[in-house]
Structure 1
Amino acid sequence: MQLMDRYSRQIAVIGREGQEKLSKARVAVIGLGGLGSLVTLYLVGAGVGELTIVDYDTVSISDLHRQLLYREEDVGKPKVEVAARRLHDLNSTVRIRSVGEALTEDNVDDIIRDADVVVDALDNWLSRQVLNESIVRLRKPLVHGAVNGWYGQVSTIIPGKTPCLYELVQLKSLPQCVGFCPVVGPVVGVVASIEALEVIKLITGIGEPLTSRLLVIDGKNWIIDEIRLSRVENCPVCSKYLKSKEK
């Protein structure tokens, strides 16, 4: 299958150079729940070079209304195994690297070290805290997304240039989810699509990413707000890992 045949509609927008950048890019998606399962579909469809997928959970029946990568027959199976197979079937030219482990301080750096862009598709602050410290420490761009009920949010973090996740959580806006997570499926789809688009923009260098901005989506009333973000002086994460001129 020729490059122009597969990606012709996309190349018409981002150009052949943009497509070549995608084909060489390495992206790590942390979490294969509602957001991650959909983000991976778009990135594999777009033709990224390598995709690292990270999740230690299994598919549950309650996942299926929003995690469209999985089917009824997958219930009880490890998400990384099912996802790797389905994503390969969608685009066999993309290299899939599967990590079926929980994200920890011991493994996070090794997982994202080679990534050009990292995607936060997590659902709890403890894991995000581990990821945040790593992306600041390794200077990795992070596309953050979160959902809760009818609401969602997206922001892009560039360590040393924008607020990090620690600074973002000071807004008290970060949706938290422990155990039971209420959410409307299409809201997840909207946020995941924006996250995937942010990744494509970062890789190709086209357009303006959501840096130092938090896009907040109210799907119930269809209100979209943009909050301008400022860096927090003496942020404990940035102060720990960034040089003085980067703070």
Structure 2
Amino acid sequence: MPDSSRFARFARQIALPGFGVAGQDRLADARVLVIGAGGLGSTVIPTLAGAGVGTIGIIDDDRVETSNLHRQLVHGTSDVGRAKVDSAADRVAAIAPDVEVVRHAERLSSAIALDLFATYDLVLDGSDNFPTRYLANDAAVLTDVPLVWGAVSQFGGQVGVSWASRGPQYRDLFPSPPPPGSVLSCAVGGVLPTTVGVVGSLMASEAIKILTGIGDPLIGRVTVFDGLVGTFRELGYAADPEAEPVTGLIDYDLFCGIAAVGTESGSPEPDADTIDAPTLASLGDSVTLVDVREDWEAEIAAIPRATLIPLGDLPERIGEVDTSRPVVLHCHHGIRSATALRILADAGVTARHLDGGIDAWSRLVDPTIVRY
């Protein structure tokens, strides 16, 4: 970009106190990796492109679905079915053609994380699951790359910076993950679209501060946003002197307690407690199928022969489960049904659960079932 055009484009931020041409040059030279082109990534990616970050890597193995569009504004209706990395890259090209976009159309894994992080100056984690969050933190620690992380749920969210050589890391704040199914996903609990916009903007702001050297990054502090009352608060934390050091990458599905869910969630072989969608379909009415999702989810999509008993009601309604036939549980993706499996086991009821949930059923058996 010619200097005259460059100054015209970025004049309003070059004019900021302490920013100047030097700050703009740092952004232009920066290589930034964004994990996830979903809700948070949809705000982070175009914001960094508009600010003048020279190279943006995007890693995501997902495709755009209609249910994404209310909050993932980097994608449009015409993008449904496309790879999110492609849709996001097109949006960057429309905003800032000079920005180089590196597309990583795959899921972040322990096999690639260290080599990948080492090629970037900063990483932003906009993922929506705990295995990826802990993997991103540990890879950032081992490569000494600053990590900006964000998380949203329903009406609120959090933002922080993990930079082990400069201060506390994500594990100092959250030493261990919550039990599987205890934190509502966006698919289960819903999410206010403006929440991802606020949290994503805060993440992009932290990235710009770190890359240009201005301001005070959120190291050892977490900003918490409550969209229902429109307030922010700050939580401080310090490095845990007794914490085990991060010396290598681990099995993060196992660490987060979800490795046994089966092939759809990453295990190489199905667990004895799971059943895949095609096998379940072949059994027809010879099994008792119990749907442990919420009522509103069943209104969107349901397997016709399933009995709906939401997970929260299951302990009091176990007697409604027909145990005269083999019992199979299902939810959206297989996380809540794994919890339901333990509830039934504690009550002396033997069951299996559907690997990948109703989402797998839609993809592998009945495409007329709406994915959400």
Cα distance per residue 1:78-100 (max 9 Å; x no partner):
10011111211211111100000
Q: 1:207 aligns with which of 192, 202, 215?
A: 215
- Deviations 1:6-54, CA, capped at 9 Å, x for gaps: 1111111121111011000110000111001110000000011110001
Higher relative contact order (CA 8 A, sep 6+): 1
The aligned residue for residue 152 of structure 1 is: 157
Which residue does 1:240 correspond to in 2? Answer: 247
Cα distance in structure 2, aligned partners of 1:139 and 1:15 = 27
Between the aligned partners of 1:117 and 1:54, the Cα distance in structure 2 is 14
Shift of 1:172: 7.5
Q: How does 1:86-165 map to 2 (within 5 A)?
A: 86-165=91-170
From 8, 12, 35, the equivalent of 1:9 is 12
Aligned equivalents of 1:178, 1:93: Cα separation in 2 = 34
> What are the residue-to-residue correspondences of 1:11-26 with 2, within 5 Å?
11-13=14-16, 14-26=19-31
Q: TM-score if structure 1 supplies the norm length?
A: 0.92
* Count of residue correspondences: 240
The one-letter amino acid paired with 1:59 is V
State which of 80, 83, 105 in structure 1 corresponds to 2:85: 80
- 2:167/2:220 contact within 8 Å kept: yes
Structure 2 SS opposite 1:16? helix
- Which residue of the other structure, out of 201, 204, 220, is the alignment partner of 1:196? 204
- Cα deviation, 1:96-142, whole Å, max 9, x if unaligned, reads 00000011100112222111110010111011121111101000100
**3-state secondary structure, aligned to 1:190:** helix
The answer for the alignment partner of 1:245 in structure 2 is none
Q: For the residues of structure 1 that align with 2:183 and 2:49, how far apart are their CA atoms?
A: 27
Unaligned runs of 5+ in 1: 242-247
- TM (norm. structure 2) is 0.62
8 A contact 1:124–1:178 mirrored in 2: no
Confirm or deny: 8 A CA contact 2:138 2:246 kept in the other structure: no
Query: What stretches of structure 2 of length at least 5 have no aligned partner?
Result: 249-372
The percentage of counterpart residues that share the same residue type is 37
For the residue of structure 1 that corresponds to 2:53, the secondary structure is: coil
Larger Cα-atom Rg: 2
**Corresponding residue for residue 29 of structure 1:** 34
User: Aligned partners of 1:127 and 1:25: how far apart in 2?
Assistant: 23
